[in-house]
Structure 1
Amino acid sequence: MLTAAGPYAPQFRGTLRVSFAASLVQAAAYATFIPLLAELTREPVRTGRAWLWVGLLAALVAGEAALRVRETAFTYDYWHLVTQTTRLRLGAGLRSMPQQELARRAAGDLTSVVGNNATTAAAAISSLSTLFIQLITVPTVLGIVVLALDWRLGLVLVAGTLAALPLVRQVQRCSNTGYDEVNEADAALSDRIVEYVQGLPVLKATGQAGAGSPRLTAVLADQHHAQARANRSAALPVAGAQLIVQLALVALVAIGSALALDTRLSPALVVAVVVTAARFAEPLSLAATMTKLFELSEAALRRVDEVLAVQPLPIAPDGQEPATFDLRFENVTFAYDGQPEPTLEGVDFTIPERSLTALVGPSGSGKTTVTKLISRYADPQTGTVRLGGTDLRTLEPDEVLRHIAAVFQDVYLFDDTIRANIALARPDATDGEIEAAARAANVHDFVSRLPDGYGTRVGEIGSALSGGERQRISIARAILKDAPVILLDEPTAALDTESEVVVQQAIDRLVAGKTVVVIAHRLSTVVGADQILVLDDGRVTQRGTHADLLADTEGRYARMWAAQLAAREWHMGSTVRPGR
C-alpha cells in the first residue's frame, strides 16, 4: 500500500498513525466498562467514582471520534489524488517500458490494470488499511485487559483466537489464489471485449455477433467460474472461523459463570469481562469475512506493482547525439523473449545516409525485426546497432524515436480529428504547418470536401475513412515530424490501384533526402532501391541492386522475382456454369 501511495506515502503513514491511536482509544473506551460496572454493582454505589468512569468513557468516545475524523481526511482529500497519481505512474511506466515487454501484454490486461486494479488499490489505501489496523489493534488490547483481570478467562480468548487463525490463513490462501484467477479472467474478458468491438463488422458478416458469440461466451464463462471458485473456496473457512470465535465467547460465559457461582469472581466482573469479550470477538469475526476483501486488494496491488516494477531499457554511458544518420548492424543476433531460436543471427550491413534500402525475404525471415531494432524496440543479445556511429544502447528509446518516422501497412488513427491525428508528430505545430504536411501527403484535397474539414473526427481506428485516406494521414504525420530516418512497411500493399498511385506520390515527397528502410513484399516497388538486402532464416543471404541480384539466377531474389512475375499472369478461371 505504501508503494501504491507513491508521493502521498507520507500522508498515508500519518493516517496509519492516527488510525492506530484511534483504535487504542476505542479499546480503552471498551475497557472502561469493567470498572464502571464494578462501581455500579457495588453496595453502596460510589456515585462520584461511577461518574468519574462515565466521564472518562465519554472523553474517550469523543477523542476517538475526533481521531476518526482526522483518519477519514485522507480518504476525502487524497483518495482521488492517489487514484489519479497511480494511473499517471502506470502511464509513465508503460511509456518507459521496453516495447518488447509492452507488446507481450494484451491490451485488455493493461486496461484492467490501469482501470479496475488502480481503483481497487486506491480504495485499499484509503479504507481497508485503517479497517485492518482497527481489526488488529482493538482485539489485541482487549485481550490483554481480560488476561490481566483473570488469566483463566484470558486463556479462553487466546485459545479461541489461536484456533481460528489457521482458518483465517486458509481464507487468505484460497482468496489469494482465487482473486489472482479472477483478475486474470477479468483481464482476458477486457481484452476479448476490445477485440469484439473492433472486429464487430467481421463477426456480423460471419454470424458470430450477439449474445451467443463464441468469442465472448467462453471468456464470460471463465470469468463466472473464476468468481464462483473464489467465493466457494473461502466460504467454509470463513464460517468455521466465525463459529470458533462465537464458541470461545460461549465458553468464556460458561467458565465465568462457574467461577462466579463458586465465588471466585464477582458477578459484576464476569458481566464486565463478557461485555469486553463481545467487543473482542466482533472484530475477529469481521476480520474473517473481510479477509476476502483484503486479498482482493492485495491481488490488485500486486498487478499494479508488477507494471511499475518493469525496468526500462538500460542506458549505457558515453552516449552522443548522432551527427549523421547512416545505420549500421554489426554482427547482430536477436531472439525474442521465450523463443529458443534467434530471429536474427550474425546480421551485418550498412545503410548509408540519404539512401534507400529495401528488405526483402519470405515471411518470418526477420525483416520486421530489423526495423524494430532500429527503433530500439529491444537490444540485441550480441552485436551492435548504430545510428550515425552512435550505439543505440547509449541513447534513450525516446531519443532514438525522435530521429525516426514510420509508416506501416496497418495504420492506427485515434478517435479524434484529422488535425489532431496529424499533429501527433508535433503537438506544437501551427495550423499552417499541419496543412502544408497534409498537402504534401495528398490529404488536403479530400479533407477540403468534408463538412468539418480538418475538424472531422476519424472514428475509432480511423473507421470513418477509407484505407487510402488513413494511409495518407499517417504519411502527413510523418512529413510533419520531418525525421531524418524513415521506416516503411509496404504502405501501399493493401490499397487499390487508384489509392496506391496517390499514396506513392505522398511517399516520394516523404522520403526525399532521408535515410529510408522499406520492407518490400512486392519487389516491383523497390527496383530502384540503392541496395536490396535479402533475408532468409534470420540472415542476410544476398545484397546489391536489383540488377545485381537478378544476375544471380540461382539466388533467392531471382526466384522471388520470377514467382511474382508468374503471379501477374494468373487469372480466375471460368468456373461458373452456364445458366447459373
Structure 2
Amino acid sequence: MSQEVSSFAQSYKTTIEIANNKASALKKSYLLYILSYITRGLGFAFFFPLLSVMFSEKFILNDAFFWFGAIVISTVVSLIFHWLALEFNYSTDLTDVTHNLRVKLGNKIKTMPLQRLNKYRTGELNSILATNVDQSVLHMGIVAGMGLEALIVPIVIVLATFFINVKMAFAMLLAFPLAVPIYKWSRGKIKVEKIENVKAHSTLEADTIEYLQGLPVLRSINQVGVNAKNLQKSIAKAREVQKKGTLGATLPMVVMITLIEFVFLMVLSLGALWIADASISIATLVALLVVLGRLSEPLANFLAIASVLDTMEIGFKHILGVLRQKDLKINEPILTPKTFDIKFNAVDFNYLDYDNKAMDNVSFHIKANSLTAIVGPSGSGKTTITKLIMRYDDPSCGNVEIGGVDIKNMTQVGLMSYISVVFQDVYLFDDTILNNIRMGKPSASDEEVQIAAQKAYCHEFITRLPHGYETTVGEIGGNLSGGEKQRISIARAILKDAPIVILDEPTSALDTQSEVAVQNALDELIQDKTVIVIAHRLSTISHANTILVMQDGTITEQGSHKELIDKKGKYYDMFQAQQRIKQWNL
C-alpha cells in the first residue's frame, strides 16, 4: 500500500484552510518562528569566530566581547521572537480555531444530505469531532514551530559557516544528502502506518459505541466478552497496527541517529587532518563539534516531528472530508406553500453505492387533509418516499412538491417546520420527559407540554413516575417501555402541530394494550392533517383515503381499500395472505 507524502507546502496550505479566520494570526506565528530560528542559527554560527579569538595566539579582548555580545543579542532576539510566536498557542486564537472548527463541523452535519451523513458510523463522526480536531489544531502551532526549528537552524548555520570556513561548511553539508532519502523513506512508511492506525482506532471507537448501545441484545444472545466478535476483532486490529507502527517508527529514528553520529565522527576525523596541515585551528574544530552536538537533537527529533505532522494531516483530511460535502442546493426564490398537498412528479432516486434504482418514475398526488397509506414488501421503496418528502437527498430525476412548491425552493428548516414524524423506532434523548416533549416546540410553556401529553395519553403514566415530567428517560429512552416512548414521541409531534404527519408503522412492535393507547394518541395527532402512514398490517389502513402499493421502487396500484380489493391485484393478494395468517390456530 503506497501513500503519497504531502509536501510541506501542501501541509501549510491545508493548515491555513483549517485556521480559517485565524489564518493571519497563524501566519504571523510562523513568521515569528522563522525569525526566531534564523537569529538562533546565527547565534550558533558566531561560536566559530568567538572561539577562534579566544584561542588565538594574539588574544584581543574587544573582539571576544564583540562576538560574545553578538551571541547574546542573537539569543535574546531569538527568545523574544519565539515568545511572540507562542502567543498563538497560549492566547485565545488556538482555542477559537478549535471551537470554530467544531461549530463548522456541527453546522455541516446539520445541513449535509442525510444520505451522505449516514455513510459515517457514529464512532467515526465522534472521532472526527473530538480526536481529529484535537490532533489537528492543538499542535498546529508548537509542532510546526519544532519542525521549522529542525529545518531552519541547520540551514542558517551551514550558510553562515561558508563565510567562516568553506571546508567546514562542506563537511557539515555531508549530512543533508544522506538525510533526504532516510526522511522520504520514513515519511512514506510512517504515513501508511498512521493512516492504518487512525482507521483502526476510528473503527474501534465505532464498534465500542455499537457494543455499548446493543449490550442488552448481546447479553440475551450470549455475545458479550470474548464472544463479541466485532469488538474483539477491532481491539486486536488496533493492537496489531499500534505494534507495527511502533516498530516502523523506531527503525528510521535509529538510522537517522546513526547518520548523525557518523557525520560527527567524520567531521572529527577531517578536522584532525585539517589541523595537521594547518588548514583550521583547534578552536575552530571545537566550535564545529559544539555546534554539531547542539544540532543533533533537533535533527534526530525531525522524524518524530514529521510523524506528528502526518497525524495532523490525516486528521485534517477527515475533517475536510466532512466540510467539503456539498449541501443541498436551495433554489431562489424561497417560497412558502399555502396548502399541504404532496405531489411526486416522475421521481427517480438512487442510493449511494447502489446501481439499482430505489425509485423509478414514481408519480402520485396526496390531497391535503387526507390519509394516505403506503404498503408493499420490504425494500419496495415505502420509506424512500417519506425520506424524499423530508429531502433526505434530491431525486436524480423529477421533483417533489408541497402545496405546488418544489421543496428545493424551501430551506431545510422551513421544510421540516411543515412535517411531524413518528418513527417505529423512537429516539429519546437522555434528558427529562419535559424537555424531550418540548423539542417539538422549544418555546412551549410547561402547561402546553402537559396539554400535549394529555392528548397523547401519556400524562397519566408520567405523573406516576418518581419525578413526574422531570424524570430522566435514560440513553435512547431506555428507562421507559416501548409504548411509553411511542406516546412521548406522539406528544412531541402534537406539540409541534405541523400540517403534515408521517407515521412509520408506530404500533407494529407494541402489545395490545399499548397499541390501543398509542392509536388513541395518533387519532389526536392526525386531526385536520395531511397524513402519510407506512403500513405493514393492512387491516389497520382500510379506512385510508388512498393506498399506494409499492413494488421494486414503483407504484403498481393505487386507490381505496375497496377499489384495490375489487381489482384483485397485488394488494388483494397481500390482504388475503394476512387474513389467512390471522386464522392460523396454534
Matched-pair contact (CA < 8 Å) for 2:334–2:411: no
3-state SS of paired residue (1:149) = coil
Q: What pairs up with 1:136-215 in 2 under 5 angstroms?
A: 136-210=151-225, 213-215=228-230
Is residue 146–residue 305 contact of structure 2 (8 Å, CA) maintained in 1?
no
1:515: which partner in 2?
530
1:406-457 CA-to-partner distances (Å, cap 9, x unmatched) read: 0010000011000111111222211111111111111211111112111100
| Paired position in structure 2 for 1:506 | 521
Give me the whole-angstrom Cα distance separating, in 2, the residues matched to 1:477 and 1:143.
Answer: 72
Q: Deviations over 1:330-389 (max 9, x none)?
A: 000101011111011000000111111110001110000000000000000011111111
User: Secondary structure of the equivalent of 1:284?
Assistant: helix
Q: Mark the CA change 1:212 to 1:540 in structure 2 (over 3 Å): closer, same or farther.
A: closer
* SS of 1:174 mapped into structure 2: helix
| Aligned positions of 1:273-292 closer than 5 A | 273-292=288-307
What amino acid is aligned across from residue 22 of structure 1 in structure 2? S
Question: 1:136 and 1:88 mapped to 2: Cα distance?
Answer: 34
Match of 1:493 among 486, 503, 508: 508
1:111 CA drift (Å): 0.7
Deviation at 1:69, TM superposition (A): 2.2
Q: Is the 8 A contact 1:185 1:223 kept in 2?
A: yes
Secondary structure at 1:346 match in 2: strand
Structure 2 residue 568 is matched with structure 1 residue 568: no
Q: Secondary structure at the match of 1:347?
A: strand
Partner Cα separation in structure 1 for residue 332 and residue 304 of structure 2: 53
Q: CA shift at 1:131, angstroms?
A: 1.2
Matched residue, 2:90: 76
Alignment of 1:348-363 (within 5 A): 348-363=363-378
Work out the CA distance in 2 between the residues paired with 1:477 and 1:127.
Answer: 49
For residues 142-190 of structure 1, the C-alpha deviation after alignment (integer angstroms, 9 at most, x for no partner) is 1212233333332333232121111111211122111111111111111
Which residue type is aligned with residue 58 of structure 1?
V
Q: Is the 8 A contact 2:136 2:311 kept in 1?
A: no
Long gaps (5+) in structure 2: 1-14
Q: How many residues align?
A: 571
1:451-474 CA distance string (max 9 Å, x none): 211110000000000001100111
Q: Deviations over 1:261-284 (max 9, x none)?
A: 111122222222222233334322
Opposite residue 295 of structure 2, the aligned amino acid is F
CA contact (8 A) 1:319 1:391 kept: no
Q: Distance in 2 between matches of 1:184 and 1:402?
A: 38
Pick the aligned partner of 1:29 from 43, 47, 52: 43
Helix, strand or coil for the counterpart of 1:540? strand
Is 1:454 aligned with 2:469?
A: yes
Normalising by the residue count of structure 2, what TM-score does the alignment of the two structures yield?
0.95
The CA deviation at 1:196 is 1.0
**Paired residue for 2:272?**
257
Match of 1:10 among 3, 20, 24: 24
> Among residues 383, 388, 395, which one is paired with 2:403 in the alignment?
388
| CA gap 1:40/1:60 in 2 versus in 1, 3 angstroms | same
Tell me how far apart the structure 1 counterparts of residues 464 and 67 of structure 2 sit (CA, whole Å).
85
| Structure 1 length-normalised TM | 0.95
Asked if the contact 1:412–1:462 (Cα under 8 Å) also holds between the matched residues in 2, the reply is: yes
What residue identity is the alignment partner of 1:529? A
- Is 1:218 aligned to residue 233 of structure 2? yes
Asked if 1:559 is matched to 2:566, the reply is: no
Q: Is the 8 A contact 1:360 1:521 kept in 2?
A: yes
Aligned residue identity for 1:296: T
The CA distance in 2 between the partners of 1:149 and 1:44, in whole Å, is 19
The alpha-carbon deviation at position 211 of structure 1 amounts to 5.5
**What is residue 90 of structure 1 aligned with on the other side?**
105
What secondary structure is seen at the aligned counterpart in 2 of 1:338? Answer: coil
Which residues of structure 1 form unaligned runs of 5+? 573-580
SS of structure 1 residue aligned to 2:380: coil
Structure 1 Cα separation of the partners of residues 516 and 497 of structure 2: 22
Q: Distance in 2 between matches of 1:563 and 1:151?
A: 96
1:296 aligns with 2:327: no
Q: CA deviation at 1:325?
A: 1.1
- Residue 4 of structure 1 and its aligned partner are, at CA, apart by 2.1
Among 47, 57, 60, the residue aligned to 1:46: 60
The one-character-per-residue Cα deviations of 1:279-320 (angstroms, maximum 9, x if unpaired) are 334322210232222211211121112111111112223341
| SS of match in other structure, 2:138 | helix
Per mean C-alpha deviation after superposition, the further-off stretch among 23-32 and 154-163 is: 154-163
1:132 Cα offset (Å) = 1.5
The secondary structure found in structure 2 opposite 1:137 is helix
Task: Trace 1:221-370 onto structure 2 (pairs within 5 A).
Answer: 221-370=236-385
Report if the CA contact (8 A) 1:319-1:390 is conserved. no
Deviates more, 1:377-386 or 1:68-77: 68-77
Q: State how far apart, in whole Å, the 2-side matches of 1:543 and 1:439 are.
A: 36
Q: CA deviation at 1:212?
A: 5.5
Aligned residue identity for 1:403: Y
Structure 1 equivalent of residue 77 of structure 2: 63
Displacement of 1:112 in angstroms is 0.7
Distance 2:291 2:381 in 1: 73
1:100-128 CA-to-partner distances (Å, cap 9, x unmatched) read 01111100111111111111112221321
For residue 436 of structure 1, the aligned residue among 421, 426, 451 is 451
What whole-Å deviation, never above 9, does each CA across 1:504-554 have from its counterpart, x for those lacking one? 11111111111111100111111111100000011000000000000012x
The answer as to whether partners of 2:42 and 2:160 remain within 8 angstroms in 1 is no
Partner of 1:100: 115
Contact 1:344 1:539 in 2 (8 A): yes
SS in 1 for 2:225: coil
Q: Which amino acid aligns with 1:113?
A: I
Q: Which residue of 2 aligns with 1:576?
A: none
1:552 alignment partner AA:
K
Q: Aligned runs of 1:538-553 on 2, under 5 Å? A: 538-553=553-568
2:361–2:554: 8 Å Cα contact kept in structure 1? yes
CA contact (8 A) 1:143 1:280 kept: no
Code of the residue aligned with 1:70 in structure 2: it is L
**% identical equivalent positions:** 35
Q: Which amino acid aligns with 1:48?
A: N
Letter of the structure 2 residue corresponding to residue 219 of structure 1: S
Give the whole-Å Cα distance in 1 for the aligned partners of 2:232 and 2:453: 44
Q: State the alpha-carbon separation in 1 of the partners of residues 359 and 227 from structure 2.
A: 43
Corresponding residue of 1:527: 542
Give the Å deviation of 1:562.
0.4
The one-letter code of the counterpart of 2:232 is T
Deviates more, 1:381-390 or 1:277-286: 277-286
**1:468 pairs with one of 472, 477, 483:** 483
RMSD of equivalent CA atoms? 1.5
SS at match of 1:135: helix
Structure 1 residue 322: Cα displacement: 1.5
Greater CA drift, 120-129 or 351-360? 120-129
Is this contact kept in 1: 2:431–2:472, CA < 8 A? yes
Name the aligned partner's letter for residue 3 of structure 1.
Answer: E
